[in-house]
Amino acid sequence: MSTGQDERSLQTAYDDALGVTAAFNLNLLRHLNRLLRADFDVRQWQHVALFDAAASRIEMHLAAREALTVRWRGGERRFAAGERIHTENSYKWTPLGFGELLQRAGFTQLEHWTDERGWFAVFLASG
């Protein structure tokens, strides 16, 4: 499904030069440390963003920079170098495709507005 955005623009948005998205993604490990009392070392992980054209989505992953073991109370998990934790999917829809999805979900009255490039849309749906 075409999103109106080219793959390079999407890739750049989710793997930005300032590292904002990477910091957001890596922060997940800090939360796991707090919630599970785990010992993820954030420096041992790398943010990876990939565009899956067939699914029309950006996938975010965290990849182990080296072989490592993460421990928490009552357990542990070994990761091979390069092994990934899949952390997020961000689906990219065309206005037509998203409208069809809303209709299949039972919404009958749809309106939407887009920016000039067609990259972003806001929908109002009622049924």
Whether the pLDDT of residue 10 is over 90: the answer is: no
Whether the pLDDT of residue 1 is over 60: the answer is: no
Query: Residues of the chain with pLDDT > 70: what percent?
Result: 96
Three-class SS state of 27: helix
Q: Distance between CA 24 and CA 90 in Å, rounded?
A: 14
Whether the pLDDT of residue 56 is over 60: the answer is: yes
Mean residue pLDDT across the chain: 92
Query: For position 49, what pLDDT does the model report?
Result: 95
Q: Residue 98: left if φ>0, alpha if ψ -120 to 50, beta else—which one?
A: alpha
Q: Is 61:50 a contact under the CB 8 Å cutoff?
A: yes
Q: Is 62:26 a contact under the CB 8 Å cutoff?
A: yes
84-90 average pLDDT score? 97
Distances (CA, A) of 48 to 14, 18, 75, 122: 9, 14, 26, 28
Q: pTM for this structure?
A: 0.81
Hey, where are the domains in the chain? Answer: 1-92, 94-127
Q: Is 46:81 a contact under the CB 8 Å cutoff?
A: no
Residues whose CB is less than 8 angstroms from the CB of residue 86 and which lie 6 or more positions away in sequence, other chains included? 59, 60, 61
For the stretch 16-54, pLDDT in tens is: 999 999 999 999 999 999 999 999 999 999 999 999 989
E strands present in 18-120: 45-52, 57-64, 68-72, 75-79, 84-91, 109-114
79-100 average pLDDT score? 94
Whether the pLDDT of residue 2 is over 80: the answer is: no
